[in-house]
Structure 1
Amino acid sequence: MKTAVGMAKYNTLALIFADFKEITKVRLAVSVVFSSIAGYFLGAYEINLLSIFLLAFGGYCMVGASNAFNQVIERDLDALMKRTRNRPIPSGRMSVSTAMTIAIILTLLGVITLYLLNPKTSMFGAISIFLYTSVYTPLKTKTPLSVFVGAFPGAIPFMLGWVAATNDFGIEPGTLFMIQFFWQFPHFWALGWMLHEDYERGGFKMLPTGKKDAGTALQIIMYTIWMMVISVIPVFGITGRLTLSIPAAVIILMLGGVMLFYAFKLYAKRDTITAKKLMLASVSYITLVQIIYVIDKFI
C-alpha cells in the first residue's frame, strides 16, 4: 500500500515537473543560458563561478517567465495548433492562474538575481521580457514584422553575458547582439516555413511575404549573408576587446556557407524538408559560432 502511494506521489511530481519544463520551454531556456554564458566568457577578465551561477539561474528565470506569459496570452490559439494543443494550459493540465503565478515568480527571481550581478544586466533582462510578451507576442497575429520585433529580445542573451561580466555596454556587446539578431531571421523563417500550415490555424503571420514562396526564400538568403558578414566583423579589429583570429573567421564563414547552401536550395526547391535542414543548420551555426568565439579568446 505504501509503495503504491509512493509511486502515485512520484508520478504526480514527475507530471508537475514535466509541465513546468513545458511552460518554461526548457530546451529554449537552456540554449539562451548557453548564449549568455558564452557572452560572459568573452567579456570576463577573470572567471567567477558565482557570477556564472547567478547568470544561468537568472537567465533561465527570465526566459521561463517570458515563455509562461506567452503561453497564457496565446492559450486559445495554442489549442488550435497541432504542435501546441497539448501544452499545459490548452490541455487543461494547468490553470491560467497557476501559469501566471509561475511567470510572476520567475520574473521577480530573474530580475533580483541578475541585479545581484549588476543593474544593467537586470535592466536588459527586464526589457527582454517586456518586448517578448507585450510587443512581439501580440504582433504575431497582426503582421510578419513580429519576427523583426521578436529578434530584439531574442538577440539580448549573447550580449547579456558580456554586460554581466563587465557592467558595461559598448561596441563589444553591441556586436554580439547583432550577430544573434541577424541569425534569427533565417532561423525563424525556416521554422515558419516548416510549420506554416499549423501557424495559419492559429492565425500567426510568421513568413515575411505570408507565403512559402520565392520572396520569402530570397529574404532568407539576404539575411543569411548579412549574418555571415556580421559574424566575422571582429576579425578586422574594429570591435574593441572583442576580437577574432583569421582561422576562426574562416571556420565561421564555412559554417555560414552551409546555411547559405540550404538557403539557396530552399529558393530552388521550396519544400519543407529543405526548410528543416536549414533550421537545423542554423541551430548548429549559432551554437558553434559561440563556442568558436570563446575558444578563440583563450587560445
Structure 2
Amino acid sequence: MGTTNSSISKNSVITDFKEITKMGLSVSVVFSALAGYLLGAETISYTTLILLALGGYFMVGASNAYNQIIERDLDALMDRTKNRPIPAGRMSVNTAFVIATVFAVLGIVTLYNINPKTAMWGAISIFLYTSVYTPLKTKTPLSVFVGALPGAIPFMLGWVAARGEFGIEPGTLFAIQFFWQFPHFWSIGWFLYEDYEKGGFFMLPTGKRDKGTAVQIIMYSVWTILVSIIPVLGFTGDLKLSILAAVLVFLLGVLMLVFALRLFKQRTVKAAKQLMLSSVFYITMLQIIFVADKFLR
C-alpha cells in the first residue's frame, strides 16, 4: 500500500511540475525556436540546438509559473484552471516561485551560452509576459496585443541564436507569429468566454462574442497570410521562400481564413474551436514548409 501511495504522489508531483511549467505549450514554443534556428543556420550546430531547446523550455516554463503565481486567486474561479497546482492546494506559492526563478536563471544562462542577444530576447519575453501582459489581462482587451509580443519572440529567437544579430529576417519571422496570435487567441477567448468572464479576463477585442470581434479575427487572419508569403518577393535578406512553398503557405492560410469566415457567419463555440485548431495547424505546417523549403531548394 505504501508503495502505491508513494508512486501516486510521485506521479502527481511530475504532473504538477508539467502543469506549472505548461509542458505542452513549452514544447510548441521550443518547436518554433528550433524552426527559426534551422532557417537561420548556415551550418547546423547540434550543441546550439540542444541549448536552444533547453533554454527555450526554461524561459516559457518560468513565464508560465510566474503567471500562475500572480493569477492563483483568479485561476480558482475558472473551471479551466481551478485544478492547477496552486489553486488546488497541491503546490505552495513558495515552491512555485522557486521553480519559476530557477527556470528563469537557467533559461537566461543557457541562452547566453548561445550568444548574448538570444539571452536578451529571452529575458525580454519573460518580463513582458509576467510584468505587462499578465496584469493587463483583467484590465483591457489590449492585453492580447501586449501578449502577442513575447508570444512572437520564439520563432525569431531561433534565427538570432543562429546568426547572433537581429535584422529583416528575424523581424519577418516575428511579424508572422505576431499577427497569427490574434486569430489564435481570440478564437480561444471566444469558446472559453464564460470561463474567462468568471475570472474577470477581457480577451476579445470588443469584449463580446459579436460581429466586431469576428471581423477583427478575419482582418488579422488576412494580415497573417500576407506577411507569411512576403519572403517569396525576395527582399527579406537570407529568409527566402520558393513559389511552390509560398503557394502551399497561402493555401494553408486560405483554410484558416475559411474557418474565420465561418465563425463570422455562425458565431458558435464549435466554429471558434475549429478556427483555433486550424490556426495551430497553420503555424505548425508553415514552420515545417519554411524549413523544408530551405533544405530542399
Q: Same-fold call, TM > 0.5?
A: yes
1:13-44, CA deviations, whole angstroms, 9 ceiling, x for partnerless residues? 21111000000001000000000000000000
Residue in structure 2 matched with residue 288 of structure 1 by the alignment = 285
Which amino acid is the alignment partner of residue 291 of structure 1? I
Identity of aligned residues (%): 66
**In structure 2, how many angstroms separate the alpha carbons of the residues matched to 1:57 and 1:106?**
10
1:110-168, CA deviations, whole angstroms, 9 ceiling, x for partnerless residues? 00000000000000000000000000000000000000000000000000000001101
Which amino acid is the alignment partner of residue 39 of structure 2? L
Map 1:17-32; keep pairs closer than 5 Å: 17-32=14-29
**In structure 2, how many angstroms separate the alpha carbons of the residues matched to 1:5 and 1:72?**
32
**In structure 2, how many angstroms separate the alpha carbons of the residues matched to 1:145 and 1:7?**
48
Does residue 1:9 correspond to 2:2, yes or no?
Answer: no
**Cα-Cα RMSD:** 0.6
Map 1:190-209; keep pairs closer than 5 Å: 190-209=187-206
Structure 1 residue matching 2:258: 3-state secondary structure: helix
2:182 paired residue among 185, 191, 207: 185
**In structure 2, how many angstroms separate the alpha carbons of the residues matched to 1:76 and 1:47?**
45
Which amino acid is the alignment partner of residue 111 of structure 1? I
TM, length-normalised to structure 1: 0.98
Does residue 1:57 correspond to 2:51, yes or no?
Answer: no
Residue in structure 2 matched with residue 245 of structure 1 by the alignment = 242
Residue in structure 2 matched with residue 230 of structure 1 by the alignment = 227
Structure 1 residue matching 2:172: 3-state secondary structure: helix
Which amino acid is the alignment partner of residue 298 of structure 1? F
Which amino acid is the alignment partner of residue 93 of structure 2? V
Residue in structure 2 matched with residue 85 of structure 1 by the alignment = 82
| Runs of 4+, deviation exceeding 6 Å | none
Structure 2 residue matching 1:232: 3-state secondary structure: helix
TM, length-normalised to structure 2: 0.99
**In structure 1, how many angstroms separate the alpha carbons of the residues matched to 2:165 and 2:125?**
17
**In structure 1, how many angstroms separate the alpha carbons of the residues matched to 2:32 and 2:251?**
21
Q: CA shift at 1:108, angstroms?
A: 0.4
1:265 paired residue among 262, 275, 282: 262
- Matched residues, number: 296
Q: CA shift at 1:5, angstroms?
A: 3.7
Map 1:114-125; keep pairs closer than 5 Å: 114-125=111-122
Residue in structure 1 matched with residue 126 of structure 2 by the alignment = 129
Map 1:131-210; keep pairs closer than 5 Å: 131-210=128-207
Which amino acid is the alignment partner of residue 13 of structure 2? I
1:111 paired residue among 105, 108, 111: 108
Unmatched 5+ stretches in structure 1: none
Does residue 1:41 correspond to 2:38, yes or no?
Answer: yes
Does residue 1:219 correspond to 2:212, yes or no?
Answer: no
1:24-77, CA deviations, whole angstroms, 9 ceiling, x for partnerless residues? 001000000000000000000111111100000010000000000000000000
Residue in structure 2 matched with residue 66 of structure 1 by the alignment = 63
1:192-215, CA deviations, whole angstroms, 9 ceiling, x for partnerless residues? 001001000000000000000000
**In structure 2, how many angstroms separate the alpha carbons of the residues matched to 1:31 and 1:123?**
21
Q: CA shift at 1:10, angstroms?
A: 2.5
Q: CA shift at 1:11, angstroms?
A: 2.2
